[in-house]
Structure 1
Amino acid sequence: MTALVRMRLTAFVRGGRALAPLIAALALLGVIHGGGQSPAAPAYGYSAVMLFPVLAWQAKLVLDTEPDGQRRLARLAVGARREAAAGLLAATILGLGFCVVALLVPWWPFHAISSPEPGSAEPSLAAGIALGVLAHLLAVPAAVALGALASRAVTRTVRNGLIVLVTGSVLVVVLGLSGSVAPWLVPPVMATARALSADQLPPAGTFWLLGGWTTLWCAVAFGGYGRLRRSRS
């Protein structure tokens, strides 16, 4: 399975498919951080929200890079579960790489992260960075799950895949707004950004709740992805 993950990463990068999501991510980060300085926690919280659809799109591209015939051969060679897991792992690795870029860009070239003023109730700089890392780590598996559900192996056609990808990305924002009637239908990307934008650091239980919410949502999404792949292969 390790060789299969390496092959898919190599094909995605060398084939040039990595350029489009990378350019889109850098453009979004420029919009977010180019307007001036802000505390680390809210800056990174909104960065995770804005990057979510790009991460999902990248995951879909990774899973769609391999031709259908080659994917079936890989499935016969290593087994259905390992073949599916290899694609998800490759998408996750690339998503984590994007998160590293997202965490570094505010420092250079934009210098967009400000330190809290002495005596303020804002989280310390170290705490804000740690919360920013958490926000991106919560966004990656959910984005990979959405990209997987939009992949060609599940949706069969480009049109259906784009519908799933765009609709899912929009619903993550709309249903994640404060006062939403069904926020549990989407991963807590917006809820995490709101928690990081609060004037005071939320209690630790809030982040445990967000982590559990993300884990449960991703478990359902990945389970659905696995069942759909088995039924449509």
Structure 2
Amino acid sequence: MRFQLEGYARSARILHPVLAFMLLLAIVFSSPLGGTPAQIRSGALTTIGDLTALSFPICAWAARGLLDNEPDAQRHIGVIALGWSRATACGLIAAAGFTACLALVASVYPLAAAVLYGVRPSVLLPAIGLILLSALAATALGALTSRAILPSPGWSVLVLLGVYVADLLLGLGPLRILTVPMIEWMGAAGRGASAFTSGLPWFALRTLAWTALATALYVRLRRTRA
């Protein structure tokens, strides 16, 4: 894991998601949070919900970049040295850790505003949990579109963006049970703390189920291509 993280940090690939996050944050925070304390608390929660959903494809891109940064020959050497299961797990854990850090850093400002203006820990901790769950699901999507599964960079990016857009569109209709509930948690965050916290267990369950299925598919496909 350290080898993969250090190699990614030294490469130019890491600049892609970092710059994309900077652009996203510049757009989201072009108008600073303001108003009464109650309005700021509500705005901070809404921003966290929106930012978590909007950063999903960037986190997936970051996970894909980390996994793709390892040369194919080195990946095969790692499988021989560590065993297939350990080598695969190390890549996934490294990617998940990196994307989680990215997502948390991107959410520092609205989280700080929420703390400063008295958002209760019973609301703030679920919000942080949602950020981490979203990063975990994004890691699974990034792994599914990595070079070990989709060798073509063009198809890889198209599949990544296509799954994200499909998730958002399906989230508006009766098939939303099959999606990462990004549309729903954005709506719940906009309605206030009570709607957000009451809906979080359902959001978390669906996100974890989606992540588990996507990860299982990645493991299965990678094993057939090993």
TM-score by length of 1: 0.85
Query: What whole-Å deviation, never above 9, does each CA across 1:191-215 have from its counterpart, x for those lacking one?
Result: 2222211135127552211111111
| Aligned with 1:93 (options 97, 103, 124) | 97
**One-letter code of the match for 1:96?**
A
SS in 2 for 1:227: helix
| Structural mapping, 1:122-133, within 5 Å | 124=119, 126-133=121-128
Aligned to 1:147: 142
Aligned to 1:121: none
Task: Establish whether residue 47 from structure 1 lines up as the match of residue 51 from structure 2.
Answer: yes
Q: Call closer, same or farther: CA 1:198–1:89 in 2, change over 3 Å.
A: same
In 1, Cα distance between equivalents of 2:8 and 2:129: 27
In 1, Cα distance between equivalents of 2:18 and 2:122: 27
Aligned to 1:119: none
| Structural mapping, 1:92-131, within 5 Å | 92-106=96-110, 115=117, 124=119, 126-131=121-126
Task: Establish whether residue 58 from structure 1 lines up as the match of residue 54 from structure 2.
Answer: no
Cα contact 2:56–2:138 (8 A) shared by 1? yes
Aligned to 1:77: 81
SS in 2 for 1:8: helix
Task: Establish whether residue 166 from structure 1 lines up as the match of residue 170 from structure 2.
Answer: no
Query: What whole-Å deviation, never above 9, does each CA across 1:48-74 have from its counterpart, x for those lacking one?
Result: 011000000001001100111110110
Aligned to 1:18: 14
Cα contact 2:123–2:197 (8 A) shared by 1? no
In 1, Cα distance between equivalents of 2:196 and 2:97: 30
In 2, Cα distance between equivalents of 1:29 and 1:129: 20
Q: Call closer, same or farther: CA 1:129–1:27 in 2, change over 3 Å.
A: farther
Cα contact 1:18–1:58 (8 A) shared by 2? yes
Cα contact 2:114–2:124 (8 A) shared by 1? no
Structure 1 residue runs of 5 or longer lacking an equivalent are 117-123
**One-letter code of the match for 2:163?**
G
Cα contact 1:152–1:158 (8 A) shared by 2? yes
In 2, Cα distance between equivalents of 1:184 and 1:154: 26
Instruction: Tell me how far 1:21 sits from its aligned partner.
Output: 0.6
Aligned to 2:200: 207
In 1, Cα distance between equivalents of 2:185 and 2:111: 22
In 2, Cα distance between equivalents of 1:100 and 1:94: 10
**One-letter code of the match for 1:44?**
I
Identity %: 30
**One-letter code of the match for 1:199?**
G
Aligned to 2:37: none
Cα contact 1:42–1:197 (8 A) shared by 2? yes
| Aligned with 2:181 (options 184, 188, 195) | 188
TM-score by length of 2: 0.88
Query: What whole-Å deviation, never above 9, does each CA across 1:124-167 have from its counterpart, x for those lacking one?
Result: 35455334312211211110011011001011211221121110
- Structure that is richer in helix per residue: 2
In 2, Cα distance between equivalents of 1:42 and 1:144: 23
In 1, Cα distance between equivalents of 2:86 and 2:151: 21
